Amino acid sequence: MDLFGFNRRDILEKEAPLASRMRPRTLDEVVGQKHIIGPGKLLSRAIQADRVGSLILYGPPGTGKTTIAQVIANSTGARFIQLNATTAGKKDMEDAVSKAKAALGAEERRTILFVDEIHRFNKAQQDYLLPFVEDGTVILVGATTENPYFEVNRALVSRSRIFELRPLSAADIRVLLERALTDPRGLGGQDIVLEDEAADFLADVSNGDARAALNALELGALTTMPSEDGRIHLTIDVASECIQKRVLNYDREGDNHYDTVSAFIKSMRGSDPDAAVYYLARMLYAGEDIRFIARRIIICASEDVGNADPDALVVAVAAAQAAERIGMPESQIILSQAAAYVACAPKSNASYMAISKAMDCVRNEPTGGIPLYLKDAHYGGAKDLGRGLDYRYPHDYPGHYVEQQYLPDELKGRVFYEMSDNGYEKGMKAWLARLRNRGQQ
């Protein structure tokens, strides 16, 4: 590194954001993630023994993916090369592999290649790494906010261990805030008072994102004037101004999207309107397409409510049309009404199960012949072929019902639609039973 490069690095280290300056250097300094780096856990044992194999660190922003990679870098005797997939190109990858080959051949040293945001590499870039990971030229450590099973080459995933990082707890965030206030690398040496209420607020609204909490702390420290006592007092008002808005981990293209939608649907299905409206709010807050949300409510109204309350589908369809016509922000009221209605409605998946069983029958069993009397008798020669003859027109009989076989002979007596005893469907079931009993008399 030349003089200018050294000077640039020195300046960047001193003026780096607080979250970067406070990045843990050893395993003992890491806060949270005890399920993967706690005492005796596989990853902590591998780091301590300097036997880290290819792995992918997956989790929301600010949970410590780059931190763990840096701890590995500080703990290993192997060469450590870092790339960021948002800026690295093919030449950078070729250069890294070339250095890894040289280190292995000349020094018998392994090379750990850390690729941040690895999901940003396209398929060709990921494929390029595969043979060098497979033959041990490089040990891949990838970091991603996206589900690697969706976004990373399957072959790379199969050759790596996946470690999922979880959002930090509010208590973990409090530890990091207090450490930043006392550590010389952070704000130590400055007379800053972070009030308990403000600390609790930052720990809560950061939603497990340490970077967001530390950035807010630093902004407050830099922009707040000392009080008469000469100290900088960070109050809850200062904290709320600095963070402005609750951090919400939600990516419409990622697994957070699917997880939230899944929770939304399951809450409606489980008859919990409070949870349904909560997950609806999370999606709306994150900017989810209201048409997508409306379609999910419609599907749930048919699949999970069905004929236990036929009006659920009517409400859901009307809400979808109204929401698209009205737009935000008023549409949130319309979608809330529909989601709450579907959640509170009596439930039956009988219609869903009926079509599933019928489709399975059609798919896997021989196609039965339609009874002749049900076939169309209006085209030329149809009656000569016996089509439509002896058909019993239900409206000619008392109660507009007559017993008659409608299924093919091969499926006679097969039941596809098994109604529940919930809501309107209970009445339908009783009515149908009365008709069939009368027809058999």
Which segments of the chain belong to CATH 1.20.272.10? 255-344
Which segments of the chain belong to CATH 1.10.3710.10? 350-440
Nearest C-alpha neighbor of 61 from the set 143, 170, 148, 118: 143
Alpha carbon of residue 312 to chain centroid:
27
Structure token digits, residue 20: 């970067």
Burial of 117-155, coded b for 16+ CB within 10 Å and e otherwise, reads bbbbbeeebbeebeebbeeebbbbbbbbbbbbeebbbee
pLDDT tens for 216-252 read 999 999 999 999 898 999 998 899 888 876 556 655 5
For domain 255-344, the question of CATH label 3.20.20.30 is answered with no
pLDDT tens for 337-361 read 999 999 999 999 999 999 999 999 9
Q: Which fold has domain 350-440?
A: post-AAA+ oligomerization domain-like (1.10.3710)
What distance in Å separates the CA atoms of residue 286 and residue 258, rounded to the nearest whole number? 13
Q: Which fold has domain 170-243?
A: Helicase, Ruva Protein; domain 3 (1.10.8)
Which segments of the chain belong to CATH 3.40.50.300? 33-164
For the chain, the residue count is 441
What distance in Å separates the CA atoms of residue 152 and residue 119, rounded to the nearest whole number? 6
Strands 79-84 and 161-164, bridge-based pairing: unpaired
pLDDT tens for 43-98 read 999 999 999 999 999 998 889 999 999 999 889 888 999 999 999 988 999 999 99
Which segments of the chain belong to CATH 1.10.8.60? 170-243
What distance in Å separates the CA atoms of residue 279 and residue 263, rounded to the nearest whole number? 7
pLDDT tens for 144-174 read 998 898 889 899 999 999 999 999 999 999 9
Structure token digits, residue 55: 């792995």
For domain 33-164, the question of CATH label 3.40.50.300 is answered with yes
- DSSP 8-state symbol, 304: I
